[in-house]
Amino acid sequence: MVWGVKNLRETLSKAKQILLRYRLCNKCLGRLLASSWPGPELLNTGEVIKAGLLEEARALAAQHPEEAIALIKALSESGYRAAQDDALNYGLDVKEKTCPICLDRLTDEVIDAVVAEAVRRVSGYEFEDFLVGAYVPKYITAIEERIFSEFGLTESETLRKEITREVGKRLEAVLGKPANFTSPEMLILVDIFTGTAEAKPTPLYIYGHYFKNRIDIPQTPWYCSACWGAGCERCGGLGRMYPDSVAEYIGEPAMRLAGAIGYKFHAAGREDVDVTVEGTGRPFIVELIMPRRRMVSLEALKEAVKSCSEGRVEVEGLRPATHSDLKMLKETIEGSTKRYMATIQFSKPVSSEDLARLDASLRGAVIEQQTPTRVLKRRGERLRRKRILNIESRLIDSYTVELYVEVDGGLYVKELIHGDSGRTRPNVAEILDNHPTSIKLKFLGVLKTLRH
Ligand SMILES: [Zn+2]
Ligand SMILES: [Zn+2]
């Protein structure tokens, strides 16, 4: 032998200790010792090791019969057929034991069966690549870990790893698609213990900007707080305060186009129900759950949103997104500059000098804002400091002003205008010494948007 005889002896001696205590099948014994096997990689390490141990037992027979018998008993109970004749010769009652790690389920037959089941499960789903996960009961993992620590096996591969590797290899061949360990489009979960497989396509993400052309559409379904959707007198039996929402106008057609079973709507911030969204729109990502199709026509989605909302909601700049874009989208909520246009009616006439003074005092100002009275119940008292980066006001007629602002995300713009009884300072009403009677707000988009 060209490779270390000493290492081989060590491996065999470890195998013997393990086998005398745990009747591992060929595959599990081989997997545990594959990393310490001194020779070239083998397909049947376990069998080769057991053959070596049988040789050793036979050599021991003359001088140490008890040791030889114990080893032959262990080998034949572990399902090693070649040792079973020797066992019979010693008058031993040969009873094969179940492998305590894989419960004798780690066989080509079982693996092929779960692969076939997996192939059936994924049919009907569009995907480019996949990742295999294996279910292993906790008590099995515990036994495995106990054996690892009992015999100082620090490099050994786990049962789970062997299953996923074996199933993955076969699936790559059968499906003609590669495994993807970081962002697979399909998750395939197998369970060799029950012989089952499950297909879980990962979500499909679509990024875009939405526009809300009418007021009185909440961003997400607004359920009736009296009945929570059941329908009552307050909501006229509808179960909700508004019949529709931006999320539904985008999510429902997207779900149909992708053949998904559900969706989640994520947006960079949220406007009040009476605020329109214009300008560059509001960034969003729609997350489609268990999509059957991934090659969704974004043009078709854009048209579908427009037609199902009868033009009330539109989308632009649609493109495929990833899970990490979702994190970025959430970060843009707080960290970005937002643009608004307000049309304000005042109770007293306003002059252009007033507006020049307003712009000068608010441009670059830091606004101190206590949580608005109208959201206090939900949000809790907190002082925010937010900047006004840019402001431009324009007189429409002597009572009407158009106010354009660029502000830090999180500033409540209506309160900036009416002052919320002094809870937001400085504020427009105070500077002009004039009380607004109506405020119409448009959200014009964020300055920093998701980059691709
Ligand atoms: Zn096993
Ligand atoms: Zn109700």
pLDDT digits (tens, 9 = 90+) for 12-54: 999 999 999 999 999 999 999 988 777 777 778 899 999 999 9
Q: How far is residue 98's CA from residue 127's CA, in Å, rounded to a whole number? A: 38
Whether 96 maps to a domain, the answer reads no
End position of a domain, from candidates 314, 334, 354 = 334
- Residue 94: inside a domain, yes or no? no
Q: Show the domain range for 10.
A: 5-89
Task: Please report which ligand is nearest the Cα atom of 193.
Answer: 1
Predicted pLDDT of residue 399: 97
pLDDT class of 168 with cuts at 50, 70, 90: very high
Measure 429 CA to ligand 1 centroid, in angstroms.
Answer: 78
pLDDT tier at 336 (50, 70, 90 boundaries)? confident
pLDDT in tens, 108-149: 999 999 999 999 999 999 999 999 999 999 999 999 999 999
Between strands 262-267 and 186-191, the pairing is unpaired
Give the model's pLDDT for residue 450.
42
- Claim to verify: residue 130 and residue 78 sit in the same structural domain: no
Task: Say if CB 191 and CB 135 are below 8 A apart.
Answer: yes
**What gap in Å lies between CA 347 and CA 418, rounded to an integer?**
12
Spacing of C-alpha 326 from chain mean position:
10
Q: Tell me the DSSP string of 44-64.
A: -HHHHHHHHHHHHHHHHTTT-
Are 59 and 140 members of one domain? no
Q: At 44, give phi and psi (nearest 5°).
A: -125, 50
* 399 alpha carbon – ligand 1 mean position (Å): 84
In a domain, 97, yes or no: no
Q: How remote is the CA of residue 30 from the centroid of ligand 1, in Å?
A: 9
Residues 343, 287, single domain; the answer is no
The sign of the torsion formed by the CA atoms of 309, 312, 313, 314 equals positive
Q: Which band of pLDDT confidence, cut at 50, 70 and 90, is reported for residue 77?
A: very high
Q: Which of 288, 317, 334 is the last residue of a domain?
A: 334
**Which listed ligand is nearest to 136 at the C-alpha?**
1
Ligand 2 centroid distance, CA of 78 (Å)? 67
Statement to judge: residues 24 and 112 lie in one domain: no
Based on the domain organization, do 211 and 289 belong to the same domain? Answer: yes
- CATH number of the structural domain spanning residue 147: 3.30.2300.10
325 shares a domain with 211: yes
Instruction: Kindly give the distance from the C-alpha atom of residue 146 to the centroid of ligand 1, in angstroms, as a whole number.
Output: 15
Catalytic sites, residue numbers: 272
Query: In the structure, what pLDDT confidence band is assigned to residue 380 with cuts at 50, 70 and 90?
Result: confident
How large is the greatest C-alpha to C-alpha distance in the chain, in angstroms?
117
ipTM for the complex? 0.84
pLDDT at 332: 72
268 shares a domain with 374: no
CATH of the domain at 330: 3.30.70.2510
Ligand nearest to the CA of 78: 1
Same domain, 241 and 320: yes
